Chain A
């Protein structure tokens, strides 16, 4: 099944993918430049009928790597689209502008890692409390659990 999917992606996304690799018979990893991410994801979601499983962000040395996990269920394949958003700007186009499924996960990556999604319709906090101190990103590697204690929370902003 992988071969068929890879062939289709090579034909339709020519010039937009940096490289592609298959792992075992049901996982494909595709590397994309952050400026081309919208085209690739829109093709996969609308034309190639994939569903969004989720997106993972993690801090690497050069920037934040975001992986969009998309699944093509009837071909039993998981397509993982990787892109590296470089420091210090940490900006990337928002896919949630057009596709509702991506909105929440982009909000989560914004508050946990500090990535800005340009054009996102609603960039409020999703998971962290409003009283959580600004400017601190829990999933960054230099953030420790002890960096935030009860005293740092600004309960005035909690809405009660």
Chain B
């Protein structure tokens, strides 16, 4: 059978950050996969070495727009690990609220994109519409829809007042009901079951060998969650559980994300109600002595890891940043083998890359005849598969707009 190479990437109108996949296929089935990254390289680790300790959170926030607050959180934890200092209780709970709000909006974003990929544009529109409520809460609490600039080593930069807390508690109910409705609709739909189950299976053994993180590993029965494994003071009084699914396919990863939304909503409510009256929000760090520290936090996509080394000056000597997708992307080599081209775009979206892209798929066969498929062709392949499943189950396929 002849082998063909299909590059996927790097700029797609729907999927956001660029990366370039090369698929080696035989006929319709994928035999091997190669990923090229680096399209978003901005030299952040080197830039960190030229910024002072309290300027770095503004820089690391902009590593990723969706897990925007996990990076400053992990960085602040790394500096606090270096110093061994204690953070005031009020600041810890404010941190929990902001981080869980981010997890909520990120998971709903993923639900929308996944819905779009399989041709359920209504899911996309509804998920993003309910996500707007969360962004409005964020704006009321922190001042911005994204890039909140809330964290600093030692605590948080801004406090919540009573009016903001009341607004958040009222509006969060408006998110809970629609999320429940979306979850039930998705979990009950037989077409989605047939479309997503058994696709892109990452076995438990491979998840451990590749050190996969976040919902990618929790969907494969590997219960790694940094909030549980390195519990912060802020989480000690809060009740929540780690969501784990067993099958390792795209459907399991989706279920993990949907159920985590409810855990996040519960954590936000508990944290807002447990905020102590008054109290400082800042440990008031004056200087950073020589030493080193590691900080880890659970971003929506997995564990974010920051390592700082100080030589006593006012800037880091070394700041290492590792985003979760760095560990998750290589897992495609294991989960895409044997899958069809129509499913590959869906599998790549299932790890929720903080880098995703498929724009141009070029099919190069062994005779070196090149044919270019666009991102819309990939989308069409994926949606066509959904439509054929619908017909087999006797349901009428909806009309949808293919242009996007």
Contact = CB atoms under 8 A, between A and B. Distances in A.
Nearest to B296: A53
Contact of B307 (A67, A73, A74, A103): A67
Contacts of B296: 53, 71, 78
A17 B101 CA distance: 43
A38 B87 CA distance: 38
A54 B322 CA distance: 7
A12 B303 CA distance: 29
Contacts of A104: 326, 329-330
B41 A56 contact: no
Specify which of B50, B231, B303, B318 lies most central, judged by the most chain A CB atoms within 10 Å of its CB. B318
Contacts of B43: 138, 145
Contacts of B208: 51
B159 interface: no
Contacts of B47: 145
Interface string A121-160: 0000111110000000011000101000000000000000
Contact of A127 (B38, B210, B322): B38
Contact of B330 (A26, A27, A78, A100): A100
Nearest to A148: B43
A66 B172 CA distance: 45
Nearest to B7: A159
Contact of B318 (A53, A56, A127): A56
B317 A58 contact: yes
B304 to A, nearest CB: 10
Interface in B183-215: 208-211
Given A100-B330, A104-B326, A139 B224 contact: no
Given A73-B224, A73-B229, A103-B330, A53 B305 contact: yes
B180 interface: no
- Counting chain B residues whose Cβ lies within 8 A of the other chain, the interface size class is 20 to 34
A116 interface: no
B45 interface: yes
Nearest to B317: A58
Contacts of A5: none
Interface string B43-63: 101110010000000000000
Given A54-B320, A58-B318, A71-B229, A101 B327 contact: yes
B343 to A, nearest CB: 22
A73 B229 CA distance: 5
Contacts of B317: 58
Specify which of B229, B305, B333 lies most central, judged by the most chain A CB atoms within 10 Å of its CB. B229
Interface string B282-324: 0000000000001010000001010101000000011010100
A99 interface: yes
Contacts of A127: 37-38, 41
Given A27-B294, A100-B210, A139 B45 contact: yes
Given A73-B229, A104-B326, A129-B38, A24 B84 contact: yes
Contact of A56 (B46, B224, B229, B307): B307
B230 interface: yes
Task: Tell me the interface secondary structure of chain B in the complex.
Answer: mixed
Nearest to B41: A127
B211 A51 contact: yes
Interface in A28-56: 51-54, 56
A54 B326 contact: yes
A66 B208 CA distance: 22
B26 interface: no
Contacts of B365: none
A110 interface: no
A83 interface: no
A99 B47 CA distance: 31
Nearest to A50: B211
Contacts of B318: 56, 58
Contacts of A100: 209-210, 330, 333
Contacts of A103: 330
B247 interface: no
A94 B81 CA distance: 30
Interface in A65-110: 67, 69, 71, 73-74, 76, 78, 80, 99-101, 103-105
B223 to A, nearest CB: 8
Contact of A52 (B45, B84, B211, B309): B211
A128 B40 CA distance: 10
Contacts of B230: 26, 76, 78
A126 B303 contact: no
A74 B41 CA distance: 34
Closest 6 CB pairs of A and B: A56-B320, A54-B322, A101-B211, A58-B318, A73-B229, A127-B38
